[in-house]
Amino acid sequence: MQQNTNRERESSSLFEKLGLDLNIDLRTRNSTACNDTTDGGTNIAEILFKIRRKRDEVLGSGIFHDPAWDILLSLYCAEADQKPIHISSACLAAGVPASTGARWAAILIQNGHVEQHNDPADAGQSLLSLTPSARKALDSLFAPFESR
């Protein structure tokens, strides 16, 4: 029991050092990025995304890269909020140039994780969304952490 308390204190201290406000109730969705749902998994995705961005700020961007994961996290949160995501927005979320983001989006599409659709509001833009199987996989990944 004492060991868990020490770990919790260490985790809180790390989050405070990183300047993250992670005082989020995973059951009630008191957060900002995925606020229109009650899905605990989107909170976890949001926390992961915030930590990754703060990590880049604290330790320097340019050393850590995982654009595919960042694109998946941003799509997961955006879909929970029922917000469409353009390829350009996914690139921004991943913190990579448009060409790199488009390349990773293409890889995610080829691997069956992401679908590309025409934007009905703008014929020159494409929207990205998770495939049902990717959504299910991410739900499954985050499910064990929802009640924490």
For the segment 46-81, what is each residue's pLDDT rounded down to a tens digit?
888 888 888 878 888 778 888 999 999 999 989 888
Per the domain annotation, does 103 fall within a domain?
yes
The per-residue pLDDT of the chain, averaged, comes to: 76
**8 Å CB contact between 113 and 72:** yes
Strand partners, 128: 85, 116
Per the domain annotation, does 53 fall within a domain?
yes
Q: What is the pTM of this model?
A: 0.70
Strands (E), the chain: 85-86, 114-119, 122-130
Question: How many folded domains does the chain comprise?
Answer: 1
Question: Using CA of residue 146, residue 68, residue 111, residue 102, what is the dihedral sign?
Answer: positive
Residue 76 sits in a domain whose CATH number is: 1.10.10.10
**8 Å CB contact between 38 and 28:** yes
Both tokens assigned to 51: 């930590």
Per the domain annotation, does 13 fall within a domain?
no
Per the domain annotation, does 2 fall within a domain?
no
- Confidence grade of residue 111 (pLDDT, cut at 50, 70, 90): very high
For the segment 9-32, what is each residue's pLDDT rounded down to a tens digit?
444 444 454 444 444 333 332 333
Report the b/e string of 41-51 with b at 16+ CB within 10 A: bbbbbbbbbbe
Domain that holds residue 131: 26-145
Per the domain annotation, does 119 fall within a domain?
yes
